[in-house]
Amino acid sequence: MVKAIRKCAECGQIYTPVVKDPSLSYLCPTCASKRRDNAVYQDKICEKCGKPFVGFPSSKYCDKCVYYAKADAKKRYQTNKDNRRPLGTIDTCQRCGKEYVVKGGLQKYCPDCAKQANLEKQRERKKSQRERKKRAEAKKIASQNRIKVCVYCGKEFNNAVSGNLCSEECRKKQANLTHLRCLHKKGKVSNERMSQAEREQQKEWQKNILKSR
């Protein structure tokens, strides 16, 4: 099976796609690596000391402060564990400050505020889902508009359907070349005929590659 050949949408380099990240298959490995690094690592400001640092999108603290943040989180967990609220006790609503009777371990709001708080959480969750869907659609459109290079003649073409040959003519020529290679391995085709077929394919390739440049 002949591997697909494509042209990078950013730098124009011709490459063979590697199936590490299908969403970035329209970029060469170098540009795809840069795109992943820019998407993962971001310039952030530490919420504890205010110093700038490079971290993940969800990072909040620099390398020094993250140790103390983990220690604080462990203390809070132990405090909450020791101060568990038995069902039927009285607690304060985190939204309006009213007192309410605890009916569940995860209850944070009084009955008057619970409905509105749940609606706000639903809106935030749906908003994030819409944003993820938009990003996925943008990646899909970019991958569909990728520039491919025909493995037989080297001509550039754009096709949303998977395939590495630009036309029916090239499909027939590539199938014939593959068949000749199989027969050559078995000793049924002479070296001269095999080299002639490969020279024809190389001429087509060089002619179209020079045109694209």
H-only helix segments in 20-167: 29-40, 63-82, 111-144
Q: So what's the pLDDT on residue 54?
A: 81
Distances in whole angstroms, Cα of residue 200 to Cα of each of 79, 190, 213: 78, 16, 21
Q: So what's the pLDDT on residue 113?
A: 92
Task: Determine how many CB atoms are found less than 10 A away from the CB of residue 35.
Answer: 15
pLDDT at 10 over 80: no
Instruction: For residue range 117-140, list pLDDT tens digits in order.
Output: 999 999 999 998 999 888 888 877
Q: Higher confidence at residue 23 or residue 71?
A: 71
Q: 148 pairs with which residues across the strands?
A: 6, 157
Average pLDDT over residues 7-25: 69
Q: Judging by beta carbons within 10 Å of its beta carbon (0-12, 13-18, 19+), is residue 148 exposed, middle or buried?
A: buried
Instruction: For residue range 137-176, list pLDDT tens digits in order.
Output: 887 777 666 778 888 888 887 776 667 788 888 888 888 8
pTM for the complete prediction?
A: 0.41
Torsion of CA 32, 34, 36, 42, to 10 degrees: -160
Instruction: For residue range 75-105, list pLDDT tens digits in order.
Output: 888 877 767 788 888 889 988 989 999 888 8
Rounded Cα distance between 151 and 10, Å, is 21
Quote the percentage of the chain above a pLDDT of 70: 85
Instruction: For residue range 177-207, list pLDDT tens digits in order.
Output: 888 888 888 888 888 888 888 888 888 777 7
Instruction: For residue range 29-68, list pLDDT tens digits in order.
Output: 888 777 777 766 777 888 889 888 888 878 888 888 988 9
